[in-house]
Structure 1
Amino acid sequence: MKTVLICDDEPLIRMSLKAMLMDLGFEDVLECGDGKSAVEMAMASFPDMAVLDVAMPIMDGITAAKEIKKKLKIPIMLLTNCYDAQTAKRAAESGIAAFLTKPLREQDLIPAIEIALAHTEQVEDLKEKIEDLKETIENRKVIEKAKGTLMEKQRLSEADAYRAMQKLAMDKRKSLRQVADGILKGC
């Protein structure tokens, strides 16, 4: 089930947007009229994406988007009556997936949604790869340090120290990182 949160302080805009989104296959459309409610509703219902008006009472759309993005990794699109460079800059810095102007037309909404969903998925994949690479680098640093410790303490060549660590890992059914941590703790 695809769920979308729409937030605009103008009921007619919400009604029109809801109809467009349901035509596009969104089965559950959540609605509210201010940014604070948008944040609360997003945290309670975990929508697949959100469409927020920029200018709303209590909390503007960009601030609400920032709050939502702190907890949820969903694409957020902004709606505005008029474009200005400062608003666009704030939106870009907030990780907004798309910026749409009113009156909103369905032919503008379809590609914006497709691009927003694809872009969000790409960004999340890249973040995962970065985390994996950071972990790999950290593991290598620890393994190299442990290997150096073995070389020094047992007067082994680099290759022999590495083979000794590999053998220990296989014998104890542990990862090379776990063996390296053990060697370093035993120092």
Structure 2
Amino acid sequence: MKKALLVSHSEQSAVSLAELLRNEGYAKISASYTADSARKNVLDDEFDLICINAPLPDENGIKLSEEFANSTRSSVVIIVPQKNADDVNDLLTKHGVLVIAKPINRHLFHHYLQFTDCFRMRMFRVAEENERLKHMVEDMKVINRAKLLLVTCLNMSEEQAHRYLEKQAMDLRVSKLQIAMQVIKTYEN
């Protein structure tokens, strides 16, 4: 179930935009009518999309969209008057905010939201890969620490320590990391 936060200056424009979002598969749509209430909503919930219909009563929406792009995992879209679209686009593109000019073309709006979905999925895959690589690096640090202990405490060569960890892992049918943690536990005290 896709969730969106709609930030708009009026209830009337929020209703129109909410209908467009429902047509795009957003089942849960929350509405805020000021930047401050939008910030509170984002603290309380996580959204797939944050759509800001600028300007807002308490600010122009540019700072808010930049803030959300930098502090959330949501796709952020800002809708601005045609006359400001190029300038706002120049300011916000580097932050990953998609700028849409008013009046909104339904067909283009559909493609813009598809683009944000695609971009968001790619971002999640990169984040997952980043996490996987972080865990691998942490595991390698533990294994290397265990090798160093085997070298210093048992006078093994680095190659012998490496082979020892691998052989123990195979013989005991556990991961090399588990063997390394056991070596650390045994020889660091």
Greater mean alpha carbon deviation, residues 26-35 or residues 121-130: 26-35
Q: Which moved more, 1:113-122 or 1:32-41?
A: 32-41
Distance change (3 Å), C-alpha of 1:45 and 1:127: closer
TM-score (norm 1): 0.79
Partner of 2:118: 118
- Aligned position for 1:91: 92
Match status 1:143 vs 2:143: yes
The structure with the greater share of residues assigned to strand is: 2
5+ residue gaps, structure 1: none
Report whether the alignment pairs 1:156 with 2:166: no
AA partner of residue 9 (structure 1):
H
The Cα shift of 1:168 comes to 3.8
Q: What root-mean-square deviation, in Å, do the aligned CA atoms of Structure 1 and Structure 2 show?
A: 2.8
Change (3 A) 1:37 1:178: same
> C-alpha separation between the residues in 2 aligned to 1:94 and 1:180?
42
1:41 CA drift (Å): 2.5
CA distance 1:174–1:67, change in 2 (3 Å)? farther
Which stretches of structure 1, 4 residues or longer, exceed 6 Å deviation after superposition? none
Aligned ranges 1:17-96 → 2 under 5 Å: 17-69=17-69, 72-81=72-81, 82-85=84-87, 87-96=88-97
Where does 1:6-21 land on structure 2 (aligned, <5 Å)? Answer: 6-21=6-21
Number of equivalenced pairs: 185
Change (3 A) 1:139 1:27: closer
Q: Distance in 2 between matches of 1:181 and 1:89?
A: 51
Post-superposition shift, 1:110? 0.4
Cα 1:69–1:182 change in 2 (3 A) is farther
Decide whether the 8 Å contact of 1:39 with 1:67 is kept in 2: no
Q: Distance in 2 between matches of 1:108 and 1:136?
A: 42
Which digits, 9 at most, give the CA deviation of each residue in 1:71-111, with x for residues without a partner? 642211111112243x3344234332x21011111111101
Task: Answer yes or no: is the 8 Å Cα contact 1:36–1:64 preserved in 2.
Answer: no
What do residues 46-76 of structure 1 show as CA deviations (whole Å, max 9, x unaligned)? 3331211343233443433355456642211
Q: Aligned pair 1:130/2:91, yes or no?
A: no
In structure 2, give the amino acid aligned to 1:57.
P
1:113 deviation in Å? 0.4
**DSSP-derived class of the 1:83 partner:** helix
Q: 1:127 to 1:30 in 2, by over 3 A?
A: same
